[in-house]
Structure 1
């Protein structure tokens, strides 16, 4: 059932067939309108919010002339008899709509806070542009095109276009099937999602790209031999979505590799060779790290890209259809321990000894990607040889017993 809000106004006029512009009272402005069409959530700490709050609380009578206004999308509008109020009917996302605040989330938040602090806003007015009956794509288009005081990150724009929908749907299925809960930030200032970089949707995309053995294949003639220094597209095309959809079943494996690496690091710094000394570069024991699966939190900070070269080495074990050549559960743990013991731990220790930080430069270091990839090839070859020898031995035993 659609919800309704009442907007107290001084006046309004029909700017277009499906658009009304009104002069609204700030002190009674409904601050619980849904933010669904907006491309980011308001941030109380931002300069934009502080400027709006200061303006409406210090000189409320001048707010109308100094502020660009609020843009809404509603399903229907009904003026009262005296034309002093507009009844706004809103269809929320759960009802198949995309109504609510398109632009002006920081402004509405400032109104709410000013009311909570008992400021006198009776003289304050705000221009409100109200679009009626927009479909989802039209609302998103206006949200993307709206001028903002502070820049909107590309992730928020991709999300506003609905390009992350296929990822959200897949994770929702995983949550239900495996009784998991993911904490992923799809847009700027998203409430309920941590600011931790590992919980950013772009990090999930990087994990998937690392396992794309068809795009990143050192044995081919392509220039992109490793996903070193990869950039996330600002728009996910149909071709890109098709490729990522094929890779999505590997996401649980990539998340497992990351989680296990962090557990190994946690164990290493919890049992140091010298008490109180952390010998791993860029591992900060004063910070904490949250992973996308809400079960996993760790008592140290690490570069977001730390795990990427390791995950990328696992693509050696994938065929052209992104299927594992060996059963993942049979080799994944042993192979990770192999990489940690024989290469990765030594690399982090040597960088710490040299006084270097790893940071994001690890994702641009071609030598690391190449070394881990070669190590993976060697491990796979050894595993296949063992399987062949084991098969031959069983065959000999069968022949002998016959």
Structure 2
């Protein structure tokens, strides 16, 4: 059922048939309006919020002239009388996209100032109310709204709906695996941890690492996937990533198991109190996207990328595993760790190199792990051929 909110106003005008502009009372402004159309959640630590709060509580009677106003999207507006407007809002679970388009920080400031017992009876704010906008129209206004603080590119991509294909895939995966993913799709998203591994762009990086068609060391350029953020998603990029989505659970699995191996290494009794791996910090903690995995050490967000990228050797051009994943994945990971990656991280620590991003992006280790993967795959294929030949010989003898 749609929910209604009452807005107390001094006056209002119909700017057009689908838009009302009102002068609203701040002391009774509803603080629980949904933020569905907004492209980010308000952050009370931001300079934007602090400026609004200081202006509101310092001279509430001048707030109207100093503030740009709030923009709302509603399903219907019903004037109750000359000083009250009843707003009908359809929330996302009802197929709507109504609520605060722009002004989340302002409404948060209203709520906090009232909680701190400030007298806001003289404070007014301009409210622009759009009626019956489609989801795309609401998002377009949210993206175009001027803000005094920058909005990160990821939030804009999310507002355009370009992450929808990832969200739908993860929702299905949550049901199948009975788990919950903690992914931040936009700035200041509540309920999403600040761990960089839980950023939606981290998932895209994991998928890029397994694209054996786009990133091939035999090419003169683009040998390995980039680990820098590039949140812009064209139609072509979404189509490519959609083909890689079925590989995402494997990428997440590799990352999880690598973190478990690192945890086992640094908690080894012989190494108690010392960490011999570059870029690993015991004073921090790390959360991975799957809510089942948390670790008591900090590591660069990209630390698993060279390892994940090595696995693309085992994929054919249609992104099918040449050897069943479960038959080689764990043994191969241990092989990479024991023979290459652990030694590399130890040597970097001895050399005094501590910048995690530089350590994880060193092209030499990417090249070494890729060559190692090719060698490992060849050995596995030779062993399979030898095993098949032995079976044929046994069948001949049996006959």
Using structure 2 for the length normalisation, give the TM-score: 0.98
What's the counterpart of residue 21 of structure 1?
Answer: 21
Q: Is the 8 A contact 1:8 1:25 kept in 2?
A: yes
C-alpha separation in 1, matches of 2:269 and 2:138? 55
C-alpha separation in 2, matches of 1:295 and 1:229? 25
C-alpha separation in 2, matches of 1:90 and 1:233? 31
Alignment of 1:1-400 (within 5 A): 1-81=1-81, 83-219=82-218, 221=219, 223-234=221-232, 236-271=233-268, 273-400=270-397
Q: Is the 8 A contact 1:283 1:301 kept in 2?
A: yes
C-alpha separation in 2, matches of 1:224 and 1:116? 55
> 3-state SS of the aligned residue for 1:187?
coil
How much does 1:216 deviate?
0.5
> 3-state SS of the aligned residue for 2:302?
helix
Unpaired runs of 5+ residues, structure 2, are none
C-alpha separation in 1, matches of 2:294 and 2:304? 15
Q: Is the 8 A contact 1:228 1:363 kept in 2?
A: no
> 3-state SS of the aligned residue for 2:319?
coil
C-alpha separation in 1, matches of 2:363 and 2:269? 29
Unpaired runs of 5+ residues, structure 1, are none
> 3-state SS of the aligned residue for 2:263?
helix
Q: Provide Cα deviations, 1:336-357, integer angstroms capped at 9, x if missing partner.
A: 0000000000000000001102
> 3-state SS of the aligned residue for 2:347?
helix
Structure 2 vs 1, CA of residues 257 and 167 (structure 1 numbering), >3 Å: closer, same or farther? same
C-alpha separation in 1, matches of 2:150 and 2:37? 17
C-alpha separation in 2, matches of 1:374 and 1:387? 20
How much does 1:80 deviate?
2.2
How much does 1:377 deviate?
0.2
Q: Provide Cα deviations, 1:94-113, integer angstroms capped at 9, x if missing partner.
A: 11111100000000011111
C-alpha separation in 1, matches of 2:59 and 2:119? 10
Q: Provide Cα deviations, 1:266-325, integer angstroms capped at 9, x if missing partner.
A: 000001544311000010000000000000000000000000010000000001111100
How much does 1:217 deviate?
1.3
Which region of structure 1 is more displaced relative to structure 2, 185-194 or 7-16? 7-16
Question: What is the aligned-residue RMSD (CA, Å)?
Answer: 1.1
Q: Is the 8 A contact 1:38 1:143 kept in 2?
A: yes
Q: How many residues are paired up?
A: 399
C-alpha separation in 1, matches of 2:102 and 2:111? 16
Which region of structure 1 is more displaced relative to structure 2, 57-66 or 259-268? 57-66
Q: Provide Cα deviations, 1:182-205, integer angstroms capped at 9, x if missing partner.
A: 100000000011011000000000
Q: Is the 8 A contact 1:228 1:366 kept in 2?
A: no
C-alpha separation in 1, matches of 2:179 and 2:65? 50
Structure 2 vs 1, CA of residues 229 and 191 (structure 1 numbering), >3 Å: closer, same or farther? closer
Using structure 1 for the length normalisation, give the TM-score: 0.97
Q: Is the 8 A contact 1:23 1:126 kept in 2?
A: yes
> 3-state SS of the aligned residue for 2:87?
strand
Which region of structure 1 is more displaced relative to structure 2, 267-276 or 189-198? 267-276
How much does 1:400 deviate?
1.6
How much does 1:233 deviate?
3.7
How much does 1:17 deviate?
2.8
C-alpha separation in 2, matches of 1:388 and 1:272? 42
C-alpha separation in 2, matches of 1:228 and 1:241? 17
